[in-house]
Structure 1
């Protein structure tokens, strides 16, 4: 046991991941706020780190020890000390310290403490530049010791959310050093898997300020590269991957989530979240589990955020995380139905359901086994699709489109894509299970009988004058709904659909 502990304790960098993370949760950091710290020692450590600003790689950092860094971190969480660290060169010096650690900046406690100091300093710099640092310090002084750090992150994320789209430059120019931010981005992206798990375990840092600064770096460096592909590989892709990882595990803060979602709408324009290398199974499991934790957290989850998180996670789903996927699908369906129940913007609803169906398709295709052997997770998925009335969900939002929006010949529009995505999602489901067993599952649940009635209602109402759209009978929304139902029924029943349809028609006319 002693040997094991020795292996995990570096003589200079301290404890290794994951041992060190327990000391940097919100609860653990709140305790350090109670301790007294010597201002002179704090200033000396800050000055030593500042002197490293702009240093070359492999600079000697032995004169800055882990105890000095932990003392500094404890000190700067006291409100009265924040003015001392609102210095851009401290951020740059922390990047140099993080770069000195091998094999990864967050592998040891030393690197994580540097990262904490960096993030707090960066946010303090932005607050000071905008002129609200004193106000934040006052708010922290009035808060209980256990809430001071939360108050700081809340003030920071509110500032980012409110000011980031304005004309005022809220980032000090010294923080936008391209070399320093480029190095930091590489350090975080080099081991994005560890970046994700460390943040999830500690859950005590608000990174909206850092993400905004790095996004600004992304925009400012666009013209520095000869080709867009180079810029994408060097800046956009690394940034996108660390951004989305943090987005999934955003701390329990409405302000932080609002700032991240607002930033996400801009990041999305640049991101291409495909993966050109094999996905690590452990990483895939961690991501899906984190997504499930977020979807099931006490904090309400917006139906607009769900597709944003699925967009990142779905391409990373690989065999090995099958048992987690049913819970993901079940919760996503519940959130979308809740969204429809409380009143919604029809366009947002159509887009949200469309994205869910596309990512549902992608995840099921990624997990499709070579042959069916009655895996429980598959039947769980099928039952969630049945009990969650996914076809009804798609029809509800599809039918909210106006005649001017729906053009059946334009499959590239949202409505056309929703039409295709519904069919493709059920095709993906049908490829997991032998056709007869799947058909019987839906039949005994009462789906096929109910859908056949819907089918003929939509077919007839799509051609009657009272339901006819003004420009063309053939492009009626009701007609389109009928085609969706017919497509799904055909997938589930195959050639049996024709006979079933005729029997249902006779019943419908008789009724």
Structure 2
């Protein structure tokens, strides 16, 4: 056992022992003290606090002494600074080597936080939140850290926030409106001594904060940053030449171990002062420390938790990589493959989950490429000879799709607002240099063989670049983007040794982007071309399979389905040279988004999501109406899973004999059958359809006047009955349209005399009524039969079958058959007619696993202009 491993008689336990006593698990339970013991401990603590405050030269006792307030003395910071400087080993300051120095630093951080919350008048609110939410001491300290971090984030996000924070820290008073001057925590040179202490013991600093549970450290980092900034700007005098360098080291160390709540503060500190980190600062303590830094980073990146130490923010990756990879030391090369892989995976995750805006993701990716390139250049310059490690680096780049990552990132980047911001050009050049540096690590033949599988992808990307150029119309911005993307793809291809494979890949033909295409190397005409990103397929089958079966890393889903989910249908028709029917079939499903600011915009979603809305949408609305947001949140959990889940959770809601509860239970059972969970659903549906058909064809109850021979069409009683039924089913506006607009009743005498109306006319009329407003369906069978008879009298026999259509976007062949009182086979004829007329979209659904037959989903995709054009005589009844 070394001297460092023994308990010091004055400074307590060493680092390896005290971190176990101060970890988060040790703070989960309260100690079993009695009231007398706790009172005695609190009394001794107050005496110690008073003595520590006296070290600073003053002793103030205006504050109430209870809980955290006992630490709210500015002199406590100065006193602990005096004590922490005495912890030395071999004439070197090592405050974190023993427990004494760690406790002093912990008191400093908590005391700073308490004082700042007091001065911001937020301390009482923080105490109330601790009492309401905390169940343990660890949770209480977490809330304390979150309140401090939120305070600094607010100050940095508002005007005059920096000046106000300086006033709260007692550094300077530039604005009298903040209040009277605040008492400084200590002299300015004492703050610089604290920074020097942390820098001299930076290795143990990061180890202690990673292993122990230390709240409120963001207050210390923020205080040091403001002091260094003021000294750097010449406001304060300071003789230390390496002040900025020392702060950068402490900042980088804390980024490795910072909790989630402090990450936004660190990002706001880094961004406006990024030039401080422009030059690499040598911070190597020893060989073991260099390895520990990268190991800490890898452990944080591989973390799957969401607690105190989870995955670091994407915004912190550039600062951390700059700290780790610039000036790389010997002996850490074997850790680089895992570092590269975890970093690329984290960036993939940020892009697929849309964690941050696209332009910010691009900046982070640009910095990542630059620092990874620096690490690869370092291996080449020092002639690193371990072929096993370098082969692992190349395998990691291939396994984590580095080629797709770089090119897709460049594809997704939008044009810069000004020519001076050439980030895309810098990213393209940096990517090419990175691949060139990687090609020098292993023999050329092996390197080309490992990336050989990416050749088809590069050829497809080149084709997409030409397609986007045609879509842009040859504008200057489009030509610039074309040059940058072409140079990037060709440069990467040449670095990978694919010169011959990339020749002559342009023209009127392209390659199918679907990874599992049966003929991926055969050229196909550009018939199925996405209007938004230029992705090309050889057939509709490859389109559908790529969209429904591809992962979030696939280029088309990444570009159109995630980061840029909105496309314009006219572009698709103009660039593919196909009619509207094939344009509709080019995506899984499309529906009109009435609130979209872009005319002609549509969303595209997978058929699984479509079926999920059909399956759970009704019961979600019922649960919201019955149980408000509580029931909606519970039921919405069902929609958040990829696999089908039975809605047993509905049974945990409050039960009663009300009608709403019966509807919820009935809908739950019906929706189970709807997706094929119960095999008897087909039989039940057929029986119900047959029963509805028989009921509809039965003689109507009551006298309904048959068709009149006057020119206006229909008798007065029939028209009134239709208006009443329409008002009950929809609203007053629809009833008014049926009454006032003669085009909805009949076009001429020939149309009225003809008992069979065209399917297109019927669907248009029905879609018009549905688009104006939605209402409850008539529940009385007598009223239903009356409506059927009246509609037959006015419109003919065919119109009867479509008078009870459900709301738009919720149609399939079984629902239409039930509403129209027809057999499913008879429904397909008018629906196909309407599809040919470009009034709805059809989507084939594959067979279910239990052998249920394939079905078809019908989705309305009509334009709003068409709906408004069909109602020239409709006006708001209230305005009449």
Map residues 248-327 of structure 1 onto 2, 5 A cutoff: 248-251=256-259, 253=260, 255-276=261-282, 280-298=286-304, 299=306, 301-315=312-326, 317-327=328-338
> Which residue in 2 is equivalent to 1:339?
350
The question of whether the paired residues in 2 share the 8 Å contact of 1:10 and 1:16 is answered with yes
Compute the RMSD of aligned alpha carbons. 3.1
> For each residue in 1:297-316, what CA deviation from the matched residue of structure 2 results, as whole angstroms up to 9, or x when unmatched?
22355433322322222225
1:328 corresponds in structure 2 to 339
Per the alignment, residue 130 of structure 1 pairs with 120
Partner deviation per Cα, 1:142-165 (whole Å, 9 max, x = no partner): 422332222222222222222344
CA drift at 1:478: 2.6
Deviation (angstroms), 1:226: 10
User: 2:484 & 2:156 partners in 1: Cα distance?
Assistant: 42
Q: How big is each residue's C-alpha offset from its partner over 1:292-351, in whole Å with a ceiling of 9 and x where there is no partner? A: 111122235543332232222222533322232222211221222222223453321221
Partner of 1:491: 495
- Is contact 2:23-2:211 (8 Å) kept? yes
Cα offset, 1:505, TM superposition: 6.7
Higher mean C-alpha displacement, 386-395 vs 499-508: 499-508
2:52 pairs with 1:41: no
Question: In 2, distance between residues paired with 1:487 and 1:417?
Answer: 13
Matched residue, 2:454: 447
Task: Give the TM-score, by structure 2 length.
Answer: 0.49
What SS is found at the alignment partner of 1:500? coil
**Which is richer in helix?**
1
Shift of the alpha carbon at 1:423? Answer: 0.7
**Given the alignment, which residue of 470, 484, 496 partners 2:475?**
470
Deviation of residue 242 (structure 1)?
Answer: 0.7
Paired residue for 1:202?
212
What CA distance in whole angstroms lies between the structure 2 residues aligned with 1:175 and 1:37?
Answer: 29
**Structure possessing the higher relative contact order (Cα contacts under 8 Å, 6 or more residues apart):** 1
Paired position in structure 2 for 1:361: 373
* In structure 2, C-alpha distance between the alignment counterparts of 1:32 and 1:208, rounded to whole Å: 26
Q: 1:152 aligns with which of 144, 151, 163?
A: 144
In 2, the alpha carbon distance for the partners of 1:203 and 1:471 equals 56
Map 1:211-230; keep pairs closer than 5 Å.
211-224=221-234
Give yes or no for the alignment of 1:184 onto 2:199: no
- The structure-2 alpha-carbon separation of the partners of 1:107 and 1:436, relative to structure 1 and needing over 3 Å to count, comes to same
- Normalization by structure 1: what TM-score? 0.82
Task: Work out which of the residue numbers 10, 22, 25 in structure 1 matches 2:23.
Answer: 25
Task: Find the residue that maps to 2:55 and give its secondary structure.
Answer: coil
Q: For each residue in 1:232-272, what CA deviation from the matched residue of structure 2 results, as whole angstroms up to 9, or x when unmatched? A: x4422211211121112112x4x322333333334435444
Q: Which residue of 2 aligns with 1:432?
A: 441
Kindly state the Cα deviation for residue 421 of structure 1 after the two structures are TM-superposed.
Answer: 0.7
Whole-Å separation in 1 of the counterparts to 2:418 and 2:500? 30
**Gap change, CA 1:219 and 1:52, over 3 Å in 2:** same
Contact 1:26 1:204 in 2 (8 A): no
Q: Is the 8 A contact 1:346 1:400 kept in 2?
A: yes
- Equivalent residue, structure 2, for 1:388: 400
Deviation at 1:184, TM superposition (A): 0.7
Asked if the contact 2:27–2:136 (Cα under 8 Å) also holds between the matched residues in 1, the reply is no
Is residue 2:254 matched to residue 1:246?
yes
CA 33–186 in structure 1, closer or farther in 2 if over 3 Å, else same:
farther
Question: Is structure 2 residue 40 aligned with structure 1 residue 50?
Answer: no
* Offset at residue 33 of structure 1 (A): 5.8
Matched, 1:90 2:110: no
126-135 or 498-507, which deviates more: 498-507
Deviation at residue 402 of structure 1 after TM alignment: 4.5
How far the C-alpha of 1:45 sits from its partner, in A, is 0.9
Deviation by residue 1:170-212 (Cα, 9 ceiling, x = unmatched): 3244126302211111111112112111111214333111111
Question: C-alpha distance in 1, partners of 2:44/2:282?
Answer: 48
Deviation sequence 1:39-81 (CA, Å, 0-9, x none):
33222211211122269xxxxxxxxxxxxxxxxxxxxxxx933
Equivalences for residues 89-128 of structure 1 within 5 A: 89-102=75-88, 103=92, 104-128=94-118
Q: Is the 8 A contact 1:319 1:366 kept in 2?
A: no
Residues in 2 aligned to 1:7 and 1:340: alpha-carbon distance in whole angstroms: 46
Structure 1 stretches of 5 or more lacking a match? 56-78
Unaligned 5+ segments in structure 2 are 59-64, 171-181, 512-521, 524-880
1:51–1:32 Cα change, 3 Å: farther
Secondary structure of 1:378's aligned partner: helix
Bigger Rg, structure 1 or 2: 2
Structure 1 residue 225 displacement after superposition = 8.1
